[in-house]
Amino acid sequence: MKDRHGLLSAPIGRVLLNMSLPNLIGIMTILGFSLADTFFISQLGTEALAAISFTFPVTLIISSIAIGIGAGVSTNLGRLIGSGNAPRAKVFLHDALLLTFILIASLSAPPESVGVKQTSLVMGKHSGRHAFKDKLTSLGYVDVTDDVIENAFGKFKVLADKKKHVYDEDILALVDDSLITDNKINALSLKSLKVFAGTGEPQKSEMTLEVFGEVKKATETGDGPVDAIFKCIKKLYPHDVNLQLYQVHAVTEGTDAQATVSVRIEENGKTTVGQAADTDTLVASANAYINALNKMIIKRNKTAPENLSSQKNYENQKMKGI
């Protein structure tokens, strides 16, 4: 047997170096790629970085399966051809290729095809501007101006410093506020409000509302003062939205505390959140609802996100007894 590469006669140190150097270069190259990926993924937040600990073992398993199939197929195919059994070698090769295509198709299938719902990446204070812009695109804001994105991103960084996770609903509210600022319009504006509440008679609301520059007045009764107020707004500005949330909480303690009201409405898959604060809870309720409507008016020209349009279609809710 000829010792062509000196494996049997060369010094052991040189043999080990010659055999290990290619592997070492390959490992260092893979390590360099991993470090680069880790750096850029870390810009998306800690959750995205932690996901690497899950994806790496999965990738390793897939690579191991591929190497195992390749080594097994080549070995058996060589033995069959070497023994002169060509027909069986063709059948074996056909089965091996079929198995490979099945595995490739299975691993390449999108999650939605096997019933896995699309997930939403939670963002944090380490998320960068590019990740924030991609998030806006996935939420349907494909044609917003750079000023709106910059304004919303500034608010996002402030919010991310206050809370650990920033969800899609938080980002939607930030962008909606930026859209209002960028458009510099309030299609609806409350001019005056009187509410009559008590026992023995239906609650009544008298409202003066400016609608696209035109001042309108209306009087409505309802099952509670808030219901009467919302009916006045709907009469003065006809619309068909689903009320998903009405929430009141006090900013400070005491009977003279300022109330903050949050209202979330939905229309054709688009969701907006309006907020307003006032020492009069009913005035805050009217302004919060109007604020949500102003955002919806601007947002109607945007594309409805699929993940929101596929949600449950809430029925119109009356603010009974409120």
Between 306 and 297, whose confidence is greater? Answer: 297
Residue 316, domain member (yes or no): no
Domain range for 92: 12-114
Same domain, 155 and 250: no
The pLDDT of residue 306 is above 50: no
208-242 pLDDT, tens per residue? 999 988 999 999 999 889 999 999 999 999 999 99
Residue 301, domain member (yes or no): yes
Residue 220, domain member (yes or no): yes
Same domain, 199 and 170: no
Same domain, 134 and 239: no
Between 112 and 160, whose confidence is greater? Answer: 160
| Torsion over CA: 13, 19, 24, 29 (sign) | positive
Same domain, 197 and 175: no
Between 112 and 199, whose confidence is greater? Answer: 199
pLDDT at residue number 187: 80
What is the rounded CA–CA span in Å between residue 34 and residue 51? 13
Asked if 201 and 217 count as a contact pair (C-beta separation under 8 A), the reply is: no
pLDDT at residue number 236: 94
Give me the mean pLDDT over the 1-8 stretch: 58
Domain boundary among 114, 139, 158: 114
Same domain, 203 and 240: yes
pLDDT at residue number 304: 45
Between 221 and 322, whose confidence is greater? Answer: 221
Per-residue pLDDT band at 100 (split at 50, 70, 90): confident
Count: domains in the chain: 3
Same domain, 108 and 150: no
Domain boundary among 62, 89, 114: 114
Same domain, 259 and 193: yes
Which stretches of the chain are assigned E, i.e. beta strand?
A: 188-196, 203-211, 214-222, 242-250, 259-267, 270-278
pLDDT at residue number 16: 83
Between 259 and 276, whose confidence is greater? Answer: 276
What is the rounded CA–CA span in Å between residue 30 and residue 25? 9
Domain boundary among 64, 81, 114: 114
Give me the mean pLDDT over the 96-113 stretch: 78
